[in-house]
Structure 1
């Protein structure tokens, strides 16, 4: 019976193309995985034949459009987006199975919460602290609360902005499977007194969370005088419509911008992909965000493999004052390399975009890959030494801490 339930979960996850959830399920399974290989292969073959939902390379379906400004553009044909660089390789289902079934899991998450509390302490933000955070003048500085993974709340030039809000227990469409949060959220949405804008890098479940979006919309989106505005990649608006959110959702292509409350939001390239399951693969564009203020600039890299886009961003908008750069979920490199940077590549991004101060994200919250759970931070320190970058200029933050930088 347990095996039947397990295989049913595998089938549902494969159909929805939630790669992290499938690997997490393999990690959590307690019966002999080798006995499931044949049945999983049968399931995969059936899905390939019936629904044609594989992740095979479809580069021949795209026609590259020439540009005169030297900036990279996403390829687009028949409503499907694709990365334009030779550094990109799409993740194959065969690679996913190889990783999930045979690759050693080195995350080594301790079962003892006291160890986690020591290595990754969480500051539970009080009502008074978050109120002060939102009200304090930030004309010449930025205030930051790292909520975890890629979710950060910032007060930038007196506008409250949240990046890739995920407050749920799992980064998954399912309550029963998928990467589970091993560090608690330091605050809940109901504690946030004010919010002006949300930026979404892409639609994967660890970056775009249904329950969190609905909660934010319920609290801040129905204020006619000062409604919450959403900044998303082209194609993501359809998902918001399915959630009943039809107003103040701004869809952009790479390098397009939208002005809002004295800030300019620019959607920038990243090397990644998108899917919410079913036939939605790559129908919504992924990317990062540059937020231009009157005197300062913020950069949010989202999810990305290392590619030429970062030098382009640095040339067009650098130097950038504050950057949020991913450092985790990068092993095994043969599978994760094209879609997730490692700490060394994160340092290269820091240099490419000419960042004055960078903050590490996409680590320390969900076990999405195979590296030791504290390795991203350790390797970041090593790579900063390797490239002679001041460690004060690229730092990790503690969950829930109130940080202030000029």
Structure 2
């Protein structure tokens, strides 16, 4: 796993290379003139990426689905690239020029792509919501992704509050060799708890899904909440101790760093 920043990462296992929730732009916004700006730039450009086989999208919020990044990926990889998206997003993808290889799924549905028939993609649930304008709240689905290969399993939580479904995912598809779980954008809790886990709840997800190694994402890139931007890793370390878990089970890595399992 190479962390590009926020929830964008390149994952390689069992002969497939995945990209999660791509945003390479300066701002997570409907316009590159206003809205939350990066305080750490993306660790790579689209031009610098390796060959990507598939992109998994968790939901349509601007910090997870960026039009400029989608257009750039489509321009570079074209018909060689597959897009796995929650139900309802295919029309949006068409509007930004992606007219091929877009596969929509409902929760618990699974698929594979022709070039990698031994890799199974399952859209698993998450506790979140969707919106890109004032009139489209919850008009498309959101979720997490479970990717099952012949030798390894990867879990991408996307954005989520904590709920019991992660125990179910762990029972059905765990243990996972690698998981990418959000640890940031959680304060104030009265507002964020239904939609964003804090580090304590992220550790609970790690245990629920039976992850062998988890990497913290969704922190240190955009200012989206009220906690200090370097607080999530510190709280993660405290939570691991409280759960009597080894610090090496759930880690953070630097922007641009690659972690091998």
For normalisation by structure 2, the TM-score amounts to 0.97
Is 1:241 aligned to 2:94, yes or no?
Answer: yes
Deviation at 1:331, TM superposition (A): 0.2
Q: Distance in 2 between matches of 1:207 and 1:193?
A: 20
Q: Distance in 2 between matches of 1:192 and 1:364?
A: 21
- Any runs of at least 4 consecutive aligned residues in structure 1 with deviations exceeding 4 A, and if so which? none
3-state SS, counterpart of residue 289 of structure 1: strand
1:292-326 Cα deviation digits (max 9, x unpaired): 00011000000000011101101111111111000
Is 1:337 aligned to 2:190, yes or no?
Answer: no
Q: Which structure carries more strand by proportion?
A: 2
1:208-252 Cα deviation digits (max 9, x unpaired): 000000000000014xxxx10000000011100111212110000
Trace 1:140-151 onto structure 2 (pairs within 5 A).
Answer: 144-151=1-8
| Structure 2 equivalent of residue 194 of structure 1 | 51
Trace 1:233-312 onto structure 2 (pairs within 5 A).
Answer: 233-260=86-113, 261=116, 262-312=118-168
Q: Which runs of 5+ in 2 are unaligned?
A: none
1:116-159 Cα deviation digits (max 9, x unpaired): xxxxxxxxxxxxxxxxxxxxxxxxxxxx1100000001111121
Q: Distance in 1 between matches of 2:112 and 2:46?
A: 26
| Structure 2 equivalent of residue 317 of structure 1 | 173
3-state SS, counterpart of residue 266 of structure 1: strand
Q: Distance in 2 between matches of 1:343 and 1:402?
A: 21
Q: Which runs of 5+ in 1 are unaligned?
A: 1-143
Deviation at 1:403, TM superposition (A): 2.1
Q: Distance in 2 between matches of 1:380 and 1:315?
A: 24
Larger radius of gyration: 1
Q: Which moved more, 1:374-383 or 1:239-248?
A: 239-248
Deviation at 1:203, TM superposition (A): 0.3
1:347 to 190, 196, 203: 203
Deviation at 1:191, TM superposition (A): 1.3
The size of the alignment, in residue pairs, is 258
Deviation at 1:338, TM superposition (A): 0.2
| Structure 2 equivalent of residue 393 of structure 1 | 249
Deviation at 1:193, TM superposition (A): 3.7
Trace 1:56-67 onto structure 2 (pairs within 5 A).
Answer: none
Deviation at 1:194, TM superposition (A): 0.9
Q: Distance in 2 between matches of 1:189 and 1:175?
A: 17
1:61-112 Cα deviation digits (max 9, x unpaired): xxxxxxxxxxxxxxxxxxxxxxxxxxxxxxxxxxxxxxxxxxxxxxxxxxxx
3-state SS, counterpart of residue 202 of structure 2: helix
1:251-293 Cα deviation digits (max 9, x unpaired): 0011000012021000000000001113221111000000000
Q: Distance in 2 between matches of 1:319 and 1:194?
A: 28
3-state SS, counterpart of residue 311 of structure 1: helix
